[in-house]
Amino acid sequence: MSKTLVIVESPAKAKTISKILGKGYVVKASAGHVRDLPQKEMGVDVNDNFAPKYVIIPKKEDIVKELHDSAEGAIAVYLAPDPDREGEAIAWHLSQLLEVPPERLKRIEFHEITQDAVRRAVDNPRPIDINRVDAQQARRVLDRLVGYKISPLLWKKIQRGLSAGRVQSVALRLICDRNREIDAFVSKEYWTLAVNLHKEGQKRAFSAELVKWAGKKPDLNTQADTDAIQQALVGAPFTVQSVKNKERKKEPSAPFITSTLQREAANALNFTVKRTMKIAQELYEGIELGSEGPVGLITYMRTDSTRIAQEAQEACAAFIEEQYGKKYLPAQARQGKAAKGGQDAHEAIRPTTVGRDPEQLKAHLSAEQYKLYRLIWQRFVGSQMAAQTLATRTVETEASGHQKALFRASDTQTVFDGYTRVYQEAEQEADDSQRLPELTQGETLVFQEFLPKQHFTQPPAYYSEATLVKTLEELGIGRPSTYAPTISTVVDRGYVVKTGRSLTPTPLGLTVSDQLTQYFPDIVDTDFTAQMESQLDAIERGERPWTVTLGEFYEPFLKTLTAATEEMDRVLIVTDYLCEKCGLPMVQKSSKYGNFLGCSGYPACKHTHPLTKENIPAPKDRPAPGESCTECGHEPMIIAFGPYGEYLKCPQCSAKRRLLKKTGVICPKCHTGDLVERKSRFGRFFYGCSTYPTCDFSLWQKPLPKPCPKCNGIVVLKPRKRTEDIASCTQCDFIDEAVTFMGESEVQPA
């Protein structure tokens, strides 16, 4: 070939790097891992120092052959997978397969895909880091030992198709424990008491809350307690006791690491963890920017460090001074660090070039890419800006009845906006505190009214993807690259369902978690799992052999497994659903066709009912008014449920066809078809004409059946994160915040 071969992981990255390197280089992609442990056997010889048996991944043979052939005639081969443990392992596996002499084989890595970074990497190759490879091997073998030893036991004792995992089982236990905590929670009543006061001669009132009664914190458990204090204060004078002014600075958050990006994208953009990582990967690998060609827009997105390169810091400081002025620069540049227990292998997630403003790139990005890039850009720029300055005034007012009462009011104002000019976190509350009048100590205030309020203590919230990631990170469980697949696994296995943002366990998930907690307490123990992560880090640092770590784990694990196999009884997953025929509880079972409900009275009662992929009972067969069979003309057809969801079935000739969910809106383009719910190849719902491909009209938002009252155009439902959904016209400026002219069933998002 007489050229240098560069091997990266993804085709998109290959395209970007190929344009950067130009002639003299051939860039090819491995499409991820090319070798792994075999699918249908454990592939680990526990009697031979845990020797792994690696095989070429099915469907990767052609890729391996192409890479092998390209490497044979290459001047040199640069292995350039991602700069993490998995990427290092891919490079090592490729080195084993390509049969290239060591002097022609080089490992390079780059944390951003830009002209300078790629050229610098090519000029500074290094050997494969075998310690990092060993850490990945240890994790892979460890997970295989846990999965292949425990999963068959779960199949035998609970049901087919189950799995256990070192990180996923801990995540499942956290979700199950939180669910039980919520179920066991007993709400308690409590009250607060405030007063509305105003200055003499003024009408504008402000509220102050009771903080002390008779020199102590008030104990307001009932309405009677609150009424008693109000009675005691009737006619009492209210005098200003103190006015305190305090100024404080609020520092910006550090640039994103993987976990904080996942959490903030969930809170601000309503992205799942998996979706966030997919879009971030696209931004990292390269986006076509017109004449510039493909450009990597962000640095590597799997990192646990908030560290920033000095060059990037200096460029950001110059950008801030030019765009916002010198007063927006901090006195000293901030420098980040690795998270607790983190590896500090990469920089924080930041834009590769701070001068690429999100608005300038909007035309080149998809809507989701734009939103995530803007979030990353704003967080990074904000992190390098001056602190926000807030002025807080606290006023304490005393009321003297037969006991003294102290009421407190506060007022917070922004003196200098600082970093909030660019970035404000989704959960950060806006400055909407009340404005207090000018008050002086000893001033008498006019009482206006009491404001008693009843409250009830609230249970902890269900885990969302964002809060689960935060908890896993705080406990030191898993690593940035594991959070997305972990959450996907517990959902895909039917252990957990997502209701809105909440992650709630299914009966199957509760059963599996209970059995693992009882018989494999170490596997689902948060401290044990976090300690194992620390040992993997020690392997990467070259401080301990990976086989020793596995040996220390395997011997006690094998004893636990043997005891569990003998002691664990067959478990029925009893659900809350009752059998239609005999009234007994239904139990969840499995077959080669999937999960289903069966009567607990079997074999006396053999009634069954199918389950959806989310492990909830499938809807019953029912008539589909207006739908006639295209084969025999019979009407109506029946809406039935099958392995792929609901479909139409003719009760007379058994003909079948796809069920289109109509919205009740006629297509505005062809005026013939109905707008129906469809799903894109990426799994996202949209709404298109039922006559497609004859008519290609489509909408991302759900169309509502009643037209716009202003222009008769289509009104769509636009979900919002923290407030009620709104109805918005696609053709004019009509917006209905309350969605008042539609029925309840019409405003539910798809």
Which CATH number do you get for residue 87? 3.40.50.140
pLDDT band at 404 (very low <50, low <70, confident <90, very high): very high
Domain assignment of residue 736, yes or no: no
Same domain, 504 and 427: no
Domain assignment of residue 466, yes or no: yes
Q: What's the whole-number average pLDDT of the chain?
A: 88
Is the model's pLDDT at 37 over the cut of 60? yes
Domain end point (choices 383, 402, 419): 383
- From the list 317, 335, 334, the residue with the least C-alpha distance to 326 is 317
Domain assignment of residue 623, yes or no: no
Same domain, 110 and 60: yes
Tokens coding 53: 């048996």
Strands 77-79 and 105-107: parallel
Same domain, 465 and 450: no
pLDDT band at 724 (very low <50, low <70, confident <90, very high): low
Angle at 581 between CA 580 and CA 586, to 5 degrees: 60
Query: What is the model's pLDDT at position 740?
Result: 38
pLDDT band at 416 (very low <50, low <70, confident <90, very high): very high
CATH number for 487: 1.10.460.10
Domain assignment of residue 674, yes or no: no
Query: What is the model's pLDDT at position 84?
Result: 86
> How far apart, in whole angstroms, are the C-alpha atoms of residue 749 and residue 302?
33
Which of helix, strand or coil describes residue 535?
Answer: helix
Global confidence as pTM: 0.79
Give the number of other CB atoms < 10 A from CB of residue 261: 27
Is the model's pLDDT at 611 over the cut of 80? yes
Same domain, 283 and 318: yes
502 Cβ contact list (under 8 Å, min separation 6): 461, 462, 463, 464
Domain assignment of residue 524, yes or no: yes
pLDDT band at 749 (very low <50, low <70, confident <90, very high): very low
Query: What is the model's pLDDT at position 741?
Result: 36
Percent of the chain with pLDDT over 70: 94
- In angstroms, the Cα distances linking 46 to 142, 144, 551, 555 are 11, 11, 9, 10
> How far apart, in whole angstroms, are the C-alpha atoms of residue 485 and residue 472?
13
314: left (phi over 0), alpha (psi -120 to 50) or beta: alpha
Q: Where are the alpha helices (DSSP H) in 298-349?
A: 310-324
The mean per-residue pLDDT over the stretch 624-628 comes to: 84
Same domain, 80 and 146: no
The mean per-residue pLDDT over the stretch 446-454 comes to: 95
> How far apart, in whole angstroms, are the C-alpha atoms of residue 1 and residue 473?
47
> How far apart, in whole angstroms, are the C-alpha atoms of residue 666 and residue 20?
49
Domain assignment of residue 647, yes or no: no
Same domain, 56 and 117: yes
Same domain, 11 and 118: yes
338 backbone dihedrals φ, ψ, rounded to 5°? -70, 150
> How far apart, in whole angstroms, are the C-alpha atoms of residue 589 and residue 595?
6
* Single-letter code of the amino acid located at 489: T
Give the number of other CB atoms < 10 A from CB of residue 83: 19
Query: What is the model's pLDDT at position 203?
Result: 84
Domain end point (choices 383, 414, 430): 383
pLDDT band at 628 (very low <50, low <70, confident <90, very high): confident
- From the list 349, 377, 347, the residue with the least C-alpha distance to 365 is 377
Strands 656-658 and 404-416: unpaired
Same domain, 214 and 163: no
pLDDT band at 1 (very low <50, low <70, confident <90, very high): low
Domain assignment of residue 398, yes or no: yes
Same domain, 37 and 91: yes
Same domain, 275 and 306: yes
Model confidence pLDDT, tens digit, residues 231-247: 999 999 999 999 999 99
Give the number of other CB atoms < 10 A from CB of residue 122: 20
Domain end point (choices 383, 398, 428): 383
Tokens coding 304: 């646990």
166 backbone dihedrals φ, ψ, rounded to 5°? -60, -40
pLDDT band at 161 (very low <50, low <70, confident <90, very high): confident
Query: What is the model's pLDDT at position 478?
Result: 83
* Single-letter code of the amino acid located at 616: I
pLDDT band at 111 (very low <50, low <70, confident <90, very high): confident
Tokens coding 83: 């700069």
CATH number for 246: 2.70.20.10
Higher pLDDT among residues 261 and 746, named by residue: 261
Is the model's pLDDT at 745 over the cut of 60? no
- From the list 246, 264, 244, the residue with the least C-alpha distance to 254 is 264
Q: Which has the minimum average pLDDT: 331-340, 545-554, 631-640?
A: 331-340
Same domain, 281 and 359: yes
pLDDT band at 400 (very low <50, low <70, confident <90, very high): confident
Is the model's pLDDT at 343 over the cut of 60? no
- From the list 646, 650, 642, the residue with the least C-alpha distance to 658 is 646
Domain assignment of residue 28, yes or no: yes
Is the model's pLDDT at 272 over the cut of 70? yes
Same domain, 205 and 144: no
* Parent domain of 593: 573-610
What domain count does the chain have?
A: 5
Catalytic residues: 300
